[in-house]
Structure 1
Amino acid sequence: MSRTPVGEIRPSQLLWTYGPGALIDLPNLSVVTMGIDRWEKDRCQPIQEARLLANVRSVLGPQVEALRMPPVGDGDPVDPFSAAALIGVPVKPFPRWLRCVKCGLLSPYDAGLFRLRENRYRPELTRFVHEGCRGSNNDQRARDADAVPARFLMACRAGHLDDFAWDWFVHGGPSSCRATLRFFESGASLQTENLWVKCDGCGASKNMAQAFGQAGRDNLPACRGRHPHVDRFEDDCQEAPRAILLGATNSWFPVTLSALAIPQSGDPLSQIIADGWTFFEDIRSEAEVGLVVKTLKKTAQLPGIEQFTNERIWAAVENHRAGGSTVEQSDLKGPEWDALTAANPPTDYPHFMSKKVGVPKGFSSAISGVLLLERLREVNALLGFTRVESPEEGAGDEAAPRAPLGRSAPSWVPATQVHGEGIFIRFDSAILQTWADKAAVKAADERLRQGHRGWRHKRNLDPEEGYPGIRYVMLHTLAHMLIRELALECGYNAASIRERIYADVEDGNDQAGFLIYTAAADSDGTLGGLVELGKPENLGRLLRQALERAHICASDPLCSEHDPSKDQSLHGAACHACSFVSETSCERGNRHLDRSLVVPTLENPDAAFFETI
């Protein structure tokens, strides 16, 4: 396998944007990220988070041994061709079909008509060329012309991705014609009606508008079950392929799980041993402790371990082994809620540090507590991905089949960790229940339920599953309003602020609160700006501003009149002008929102939780 670099991306993007199976559209080249079985595992540093690992195992199987960060080179960045600098993730060109920008020649790159021209000193400029191209008018003077990836692909809901079936499409099915194809434009507009593909041999032609909609279902072949990131074809795919554009956002959706690193032990050393048990589980004597600790100090993988003697560490290892080291799969948010609402929240320096503050003046009837998280750590794991349709909330939902990360069941999964800060706000559950019993709130709840049922019914899903409840919708909407206000003052960009909503009322639970925290993957995320705004005098002002802005939306009256039961959508009075945030910030992809549940609106003044400010 060639080790030629072709570009650069940030490590965090290998989890959220360009993971296994995703397309990376470089300036002159398009490539697909290969499966994790082709990654250099030894270069992927492990991340310790037992609760998240247990939940990943419950989804992918017990063979998953670790969460690991994407590989990062440690060589001299000045020399991109040094052995260490070449450490990264393997990719291969995809789609195979290329188009000459001068003559429109359409052909696979491995057919011999195009040549890869590498750029040793600027890898991002590596490109394919059509040597000796004579242009569309067969010019006498031949020149090299760039060849760019064909912009059309085929994908299906089962996660398969394939080259567009150009020969099948232009000939209307299987054909013995093996002549070259040309791609050209027939008008000034780039609408699909003006984009044509033509066969040089038999003269057959067809415009690209016939590749979409009902015409596309008639003109495209059955799905071949192709997974280009693992070089595999799956038989008997029952999903109908559809044409998509290269770079389309629906070509790859990550399926992830995330968890906060919540201390599970009151003893700091015991917590460190539990967090890094994979480093200590094979130790059989105190003499071996020093070697392990020396390595951990060099790699800084377990901050705080250097504070303890080898004797104390060995005693903690023995104690942990005697007590058992297995963490069972459970609700990820349950332990977090317990820790955040504890009378004395636990501390695990430097991963979890908190401080209780007073409730903002004027909000004591609704808010029962505020906790400032001066340090927190979030770990995210990639389970797979979907195409065409985004995954439903929760890893077990079968809305869109999850495509694999590699050729076989993975023994590890890619993960990232973020150190940041946050504000946790707890609400009075009794007040929330009284509000939920109001007739106007029940009517709004029914409209949202009907929209949810219709939305799932259109996707052949169980219509009675997945609705989070009216309490969740209200808390979720308020969290969005507060995120929008915080982004204006805290020093972080809006996409770096995330949420975790705690609103579970099933099986005896009575959660009522949310956590807003920083999640900037490429920085430490602990500037202190968010915590500072969580102090009573600042938080009260921001809450009032958020509620005041939400009364009138720039899209009113259309926004406030939106009825999810009529258009089978997942949100009520909510839009980009008033309640939506960056999708990297929202745990539900801007679904299940309705500002009429938070403040009175023009259409529904009676269902608001905050009737007055």
Structure 2
Amino acid sequence: MSSTKSPVGEVRPSQLLWTYGPGALVDLPNLSVVTMGTDRWEKDRCQPIEESRLLAAVRTVLGDQVASLRMPPFQTSEMVDPFSAEAHIGVPVEPFPRWLRCVKCGLLSEYDLGLFDLKEHKYRPERSRFVHKGCKGSKGDQPAKDADAVPARFLLACREGHLDDFPWHYFVHSGPSSCKGSLRFFESGASLQTENLWVKCDQCSVSRSLAHAFGRAGQDNLPGCRGRHPHLSRFDEGCTEQPRAVLLGATNSWFPVTISALAIPMFKEPIKQLVQDGWTYFEDAESEAEVKVIVRTLAKNASLPGIDKHEPHAVWAAIQAIKSNEITQEVSENDIKRPEWDVLTDANPPSDWPHFMSRTVQSPNGFHNSIQTVLLLERLREVNALLGFTRVEAPEENVSSDERSDMADLTTNAAEWVPANQVHGEGIFLRFSEDRVANWEGQSAVQGREADLLAGHRGWRNARGLDPDLGFPGIRYAMLHTLSHLLIRELALECGYNAASIRERIYADTSGDNPQAGILIYTAAADSDGTLGGLVDLGKPENLERLLSQAIGRAEICSSDPLCSEHRAEKDRSLHAAACHACSFVAETSCEKGNRYIDRALIVPTFDAPEASFFGFEND
């Protein structure tokens, strides 16, 4: 990661989607920077990722002008000459917050006023830091000596995605003031609680505790939002949101809004699949001669591996098939899972593709009536795209794209490309018997649990000003989601992967002619660790039988019972019933719904609901 002058630190490319994307603060050891918008990135160094379904879904959200998905720029070698051109490959950043504090005398000032200097470290960028020139100590009686200056750890943020420096002069003077005195930051106690943190004006000697900047007091002591986007170097006019004081490094200062898709082969013919994957290159071609030039260019740049193995006339025929609507290009964000379900449940699923290798095995003994098929995905690829971000409040996973609140933009103008990454892994897909699931849904006890979850769902959405009649995924989803969590917790103990690197995709859509009832549990790592084979091996019938039995057995009793089993979603307007961290919650990175719509009573009998369990109403 680099600024316009020199490198200042390093992060993983995948972190630029999930943690340190455009508009996010990167809290480095000695300074803090904000990642600039994608219009400041070097596009030519951002390698494109081909995934037509995901690109089509991104366009439904950001517009048809989005031409590509691209990986963040990164250095190809760990050993780089700090004076070479490759040392400056990275993402542009700028220091933020602009206010710095001297650790010796407590002086507060903006770095561009000249009181602080940046000391660069070419060979160890993480050691680059600001210093206070000629600091004489807090009382001014010590020999002049440079002292370290660190970022002031207080900022302002609002729900519209704006981020600003903390108004130090405004705050200490309790409003607008003509005083231009220098400010000092000091501590009055041993603890770092806000009531022990003070800021003082040297000229008029007024001081104020930072405790007055948070909570209800902050609403009266802080100015209105200026609409600042530091990553775009601009101010928006007319923001009416009340800004809130946040700490540097706080998780609520940046929440990514992402969308993902599995790279699945949609067609039996390799040529059609290649053209589908690289449709952005071919959509404007009007003749076989143009196709010949495009194929030659793609082969030279290795932009679409495998396309050079096919003759131009065959590529042109596939393009004509797409343009004649034989292949559908429109994929919305809401139904992006439908093509995945069709491939995963195909009678003869693809078994040997570059990014998709599968093998069908028997369902485990004792679960033949519940689980129809098991598909071991020995190789798969997931592609994620960053659409935007929010601050203060996280985007709700259960809110549809039509209801999603405004998110902050990644670029000044309409995005022509969006940051993306791809991860490779392996997985286990379980398809459940539709007849058995439908019969279970018809049980009166199950309908009672659904009514409770629906009441909690309505109350939760009412409290947030959302339409209470939208967004409920149904009791089928809640059951599959709960079982997925129980199985993830069990798999994490034996598969050898970090629990946070195991993810889920739930297929529970019943709106079409082919109702869905399936779970995909898979690993997703940016390196080869995602394809070590440990997860697939546990999907074999003899292993899966044991793991399912253990997962169901552990779910019968929770260490938080009876409080856990007696929890009602309707009572506290929550989105889960009999579920907690002790029995069924998983890492936020693993769950596609943020640990919502989970009810252990839908899997096993509990004290409060002994007759609603999927594995209890009819013995396998």
Distance 1:311 1:518 in 2: 39
Alignment CA distance shift 1:524-1:315 (3 Å): farther
Distance 1:29 1:314 in 2: 54
Distance 1:279 1:216 in 2: 53
1:321 Cα offset (Å): 5.6
1:255 Cα offset (Å): 0.5
Which of residues 126, 132, 146 in structure 2 aligns to 1:124? 126
* Counterpart for residue 435 of structure 2: 430
Which of residues 356, 379, 382 in structure 2 aligns to 1:352? 356
1:457 Cα offset (Å): 2.0
Question: Contact between 1:266 and 1:347, CA under 8 Å: does it hold in 2?
Answer: no
Alignment CA distance shift 1:399-1:212 (3 Å): farther
With normalisation by structure 1, the TM-score equals 0.95
Matched, 1:484 2:489: yes
Which of residues 11, 29, 34 in structure 2 aligns to 1:27? 29
Letter in 1 for 2:567: H
Question: Contact between 1:351 and 1:375, CA under 8 Å: does it hold in 2?
Answer: yes
1:336 Cα offset (Å): 1.0
Which of residues 238, 257, 260 in structure 1 aligns to 2:259? 257
* Counterpart for residue 554 of structure 2: 549
Question: Contact between 2:4 and 2:93, CA under 8 Å: does it hold in 1?
Answer: no
Distance 1:436 1:308 in 2: 50
Counterparts of 1:13-24 in structure 2 under 5 Å? 13-24=15-26
Q: Could you tell which deviates more after superposition, 427-436 or 195-204?
A: 427-436
Counterparts of 1:401-412 in structure 2 under 5 Å? 401-412=406-417
Distance 1:378 1:62 in 2: 23
Distance 2:113 2:462 in 1: 45
* Counterpart for residue 152 of structure 1: 154
Residue 58 of structure 2 aligns to a residue whose secondary structure is helix
Which of residues 538, 562, 566 in structure 2 aligns to 1:533? 538
Residue 7 of structure 2 aligns to a residue whose secondary structure is coil
Letter in 1 for 2:510: V
Distance 2:542 2:262 in 1: 27
* Counterpart for residue 444 of structure 1: 449
With normalisation by structure 2, the TM-score equals 0.94
Letter in 2 for 1:380: N
Distance 2:64 2:130 in 1: 44
Matched, 1:464 2:466: no
Q: Could you tell which deviates more after superposition, 303-312 or 447-456?
A: 303-312
Question: Contact between 1:197 and 1:205, CA under 8 Å: does it hold in 2?
Answer: yes
Q: Could you tell which deviates more after superposition, 258-267 or 271-280?
A: 271-280
Distance 1:66 1:395 in 2: 23
Which of residues 390, 395, 401 in structure 2 aligns to 1:391? 395
1:31 Cα offset (Å): 0.5
Alignment CA distance shift 1:108-1:212 (3 Å): same
Which of residues 564, 573, 588 in structure 2 aligns to 1:568? 573
Distance 2:519 2:469 in 1: 25
Distance 2:64 2:312 in 1: 32
Letter in 1 for 2:591: C
Distance 1:56 1:402 in 2: 14
Counterparts of 1:257-296 in structure 2 under 5 Å? 257-281=259-283, 296=298
Deviation per CA, 1:13-55: give whole Å up to 9, x if none. 1111111111100000111100000011111111111111111
Deviation per CA, 1:193-212: give whole Å up to 9, x if none. 11111111112221111111
1:278 Cα offset (Å): 3.1
Distance 2:139 2:414 in 1: 53
Residue 442 of structure 1 aligns to a residue whose secondary structure is helix
Residue 525 of structure 1 aligns to a residue whose secondary structure is helix
Question: Contact between 1:263 and 1:347, CA under 8 Å: does it hold in 2?
Answer: no
Letter in 1 for 2:360: K
1:607 Cα offset (Å): 1.9
Letter in 1 for 2:247: L
Matched, 1:586 2:588: no
Residue 506 of structure 2 aligns to a residue whose secondary structure is strand
Alignment CA distance shift 1:326-1:405 (3 Å): farther
Residue 340 of structure 2 aligns to a residue whose secondary structure is helix
* Counterpart for residue 524 of structure 2: 519
Question: Contact between 1:304 and 1:349, CA under 8 Å: does it hold in 2?
Answer: no
Question: Contact between 2:362 and 2:373, CA under 8 Å: does it hold in 1?
Answer: yes
1:294 Cα offset (Å): 6.1
* Counterpart for residue 246 of structure 2: 244
Question: Contact between 1:371 and 1:424, CA under 8 Å: does it hold in 2?
Answer: yes
Residue 401 of structure 1 aligns to a residue whose secondary structure is coil
Alignment CA distance shift 1:528-1:217 (3 Å): same
Residue 384 of structure 2 aligns to a residue whose secondary structure is strand
* Counterpart for residue 206 of structure 2: 204
Question: Contact between 2:80 and 2:86, CA under 8 Å: does it hold in 1?
Answer: no
Task: Report percent identity of matched pairs.
Answer: 68
Letter in 2 for 1:118: E
Counterparts of 1:98-247 in structure 2 under 5 Å? 98-247=100-249
Residue 485 of structure 1 aligns to a residue whose secondary structure is helix
Question: Contact between 1:154 and 1:162, CA under 8 Å: does it hold in 2?
Answer: yes
Letter in 1 for 2:266: Q
Alignment CA distance shift 1:299-1:601 (3 Å): farther
Alignment CA distance shift 1:115-1:325 (3 Å): farther
Distance 1:283 1:427 in 2: 44
1:266 Cα offset (Å): 1.6
Q: Could you tell which deviates more after superposition, 451-460 or 303-312?
A: 303-312
Question: Contact between 2:341 and 2:516, CA under 8 Å: does it hold in 1?
Answer: yes
* Counterpart for residue 421 of structure 2: 416
1:430 Cα offset (Å): 2.3
Alignment CA distance shift 1:507-1:78 (3 Å): closer
Distance 2:255 2:100 in 1: 25
1:353 Cα offset (Å): 2.0
Over aligned residues, Cα RMSD in angstroms? 2.2
List runs of 5+ in structure 1 lacking aligned partners.
Answer: none
Alignment CA distance shift 1:86-1:262 (3 Å): same
Question: Contact between 2:322 and 2:328, CA under 8 Å: does it hold in 1?
Answer: no
Alignment CA distance shift 1:262-1:465 (3 Å): same
* Counterpart for residue 610 of structure 2: 605
Matched, 1:372 2:372: no
Q: Could you tell which deviates more after superposition, 268-277 or 33-42?
A: 268-277
Q: Could you tell which deviates more after superposition, 130-139 or 274-283?
A: 274-283
Distance 1:606 1:76 in 2: 58
Letter in 2 for 1:216: G
Residue 528 of structure 2 aligns to a residue whose secondary structure is coil
* Counterpart for residue 55 of structure 2: 53
Question: Contact between 1:392 and 1:398, CA under 8 Å: does it hold in 2?
Answer: no
Distance 2:137 2:264 in 1: 63
Question: Contact between 1:76 and 1:82, CA under 8 Å: does it hold in 2?
Answer: no
Letter in 2 for 1:240: Q
